[in-house]
Structure 1
């Protein structure tokens, strides 16, 4: 437990962190990787290059400062980040190193304003926050291991099949190299693939949604090929052009809190943009086997007709669900955008809505849902990248 004086100091410095948080976390990552370059085998280089990891950490530190007297208020964020950490193989021994460099970064950016008293208070607060993450992640590791066929950290998988879905997306069917049974996952979850690319100094980790319903003998991920020079391009180009059937890579156990609510009887709506369709495919296929009569709307927007994927699979699911409708939109055509009017006309009142796609797409869709009266408990979303704040107006 933190002392009252410590909590007061942390709360009083929250406004400073709100202003200087991004500068602090930028310095933090720079110094951390200079001293411990081996950690670049864990962190996503693309998120670092785009500044997303720095922003995510700044948001988390600020939220912790604001709620230091009641950290349970940020428990949903802690769990979301813990899922990502567990998927990446973050260990308890990493936290003291992170704490050391975070405090040094606060001191470097704030200078004399970061008094010894402030640094000491933040050191104590970090210890409590880190402990919450360590305990939460350890429970997740144990849960992943306890499943039949489960494991901790990473395990070798073989590419059993590689399928072209459209001119930008390729699906990879991954099976355990040891031939053991696959643990069941929750519809909407993701795995991390850890890749050693020839000529690259460090390992690359990418989290990809599982794009089919659980229960199959392989995990399927569906990867969009990014252009050369794009921060994500080095991995997606390698997967598309060099990874072959029979090759192996390291895979983490499924993780993530973006999951289909299995007990609700309310109508369901899936709204996706681009490759954001992948976790929703897993949910959609699952509904067809668990609750085929559920009233369901699946709305998907792609850049053009050539960028749509999973057409035959969607048709097969629709054939099993008499109360389901699929809407295919192309953003390069007139009226091809998912706007508030379209949502109002095609998403049933009281639906549980699942949204996934580019950040700007999700901000627009989710804000439209809130404006139409949908509540935070009804709107569920996932985006690709570190946990970060969307500009939402609930």
Structure 2
């Protein structure tokens, strides 16, 4: 809870900080990496630094947290904190790194605000930072403790590789040493850490798309020809190759039973739903499930065969598809154009979204307009969560 002393200062300066934070965060990261360049080796993505998404995600999380403290005294944005904590633990963020972030973030704030940053305002925002930091540290310690091992990464060997859709590849790994394996849940992800051409290690998160409850890790990676990471996986990783994978994390987990479920995905965003449907089928779920998928055309749909097989085993599941071009396939309730959720929604539905941000924004708006409460609309963003503030 924000103290009575700090509350009026945060309430008064929140509009200014919220407006300025997106300008402050680039300066913060410049300061951070100048003082600690080792953080770019295996923790922070330099691609996300270049395109600005990491700065946007940090700015959004700070603004959301402070706004929540003002609007909902005595509570905290648990969903946001959990999302950030799962990403942090998949990267191995440690408690001792929070003071480092504090120093360089507040140096950047002081430089940006100048004399406007009075001692009282600085103290109030310091309190906000440490309230958020301590909340995250507590969650992260709990997440680390749930794992079957104390490591951040372990070596895994590529044992199977298969093409799916267009420019996407399914990669299956098995343990390369005796590190105990944590059983994953459908919808969770792992961090993949690999050295790039210059020797610097980079990390990306990939949702587990298959074999979730087994001693395997299967991910599906779409090629970004202009990216830094996915071309290395597509072009350099061969059967027998060993790479580093983190323990599984992520809070977008779908239960076997419950209220009606609507899963809406587009493109490679189908990976969490593919794993969830496979697991639901394996457990004999009778839950009412409406699966909606949009893609460019039938041939570009990744994991199509796996999803159709799972849906066929689920008595309560139905499927509708949308394709932007090409001949519409038979038997998939296929339509041309863009997804329309209207007919799929019921008052008690739980809605799960995954795909490009414009897609999720459009279908989330449809769900809200149909009367689905925001807390029953769940989503997954690949990369920094720049959608957080929304």
Q: Is the TM value for this pair above 0.5? A: yes
Q: Distance in 2 between matches of 1:164 and 1:356?
A: 21
- Answering whether residue 352 of structure 2 is matched by residue 354 of structure 1, we say yes
Of 291-300 and 80-89, deviating more is 291-300
- Answering whether residue 2 of structure 2 is matched by residue 8 of structure 1, we say no
Contact 1:318 1:324 in 2 (8 A): yes
Of 18-27 and 130-139, deviating more is 130-139
Q: CA-to-partner distance for each residue in 1:343-386, whole Å, 9 max, x for gaps?
A: 22244553222110011100000110111122223321111122
- The SS at the match of 1:246 is coil
TM-score after normalising by structure 1: 0.90
Aligned residues: 380
Q: Which residue of 1 aligns with 2:94?
A: 91
Q: CA-to-partner distance for each residue in 1:96-146, whole Å, 9 max, x for gaps?
A: 0100001101011111111233223323332332122112111111111xx
- The SS at the match of 1:157 is strand
Q: Which residue of 2 aligns with 1:123?
A: 126
Q: Give the superposition deviation at 1:152.
A: 2.9
Of 296-305 and 95-104, deviating more is 296-305
Contact 2:69 2:75 in 1 (8 A): no
- The SS at the match of 1:84 is helix
Q: Which residue of 2 aligns with 1:257?
A: 251
Distance 1:132-1:323 versus aligned 2 partners, 3 A rule: closer
Q: Give the superposition deviation at 1:180.
A: 5.2
Q: Give the superposition deviation at 1:76.
A: 1.7
Matches within 5 A, 1:332-371: 332=325, 335-339=335-339, 342-348=340-346, 350-371=348-369
Q: Which residue of 2 aligns with 1:36?
A: 36
Contact 1:363 1:390 in 2 (8 A): no
Contact 1:209 1:279 in 2 (8 A): yes
Q: Which residue of 1 aligns with 2:182?
A: 183
Q: Distance in 2 between matches of 1:375 and 1:124?
A: 32
Of 62-71 and 28-37, deviating more is 62-71
Q: Distance in 1 between matches of 2:103 and 2:178?
A: 42
Gaps of 5+ in 2: 329-334
Gaps of 5+ in 1: none
Q: Distance in 2 between matches of 1:32 and 1:180?
A: 33
Distance 1:312-1:31 versus aligned 2 partners, 3 A rule: same
Contact 1:189 1:257 in 2 (8 A): yes
Q: Which residue of 1 aligns with 2:238?
A: 244
Q: Give the superposition deviation at 1:250.
A: 1.1
Distance 1:253-1:214 versus aligned 2 partners, 3 A rule: same
- The SS at the match of 1:58 is helix
Matches within 5 A, 1:289-300: 289-300=282-293
Contact 2:157 2:174 in 1 (8 A): yes
Contact 1:359 1:390 in 2 (8 A): no
Q: Give the superposition deviation at 1:300.
A: 1.1
TM-score after normalising by structure 2: 0.91
Matches within 5 A, 1:192-203: 192-200=191-199, 202-203=200-201
Contact 1:151 1:253 in 2 (8 A): no
Distance 1:89-1:257 versus aligned 2 partners, 3 A rule: same
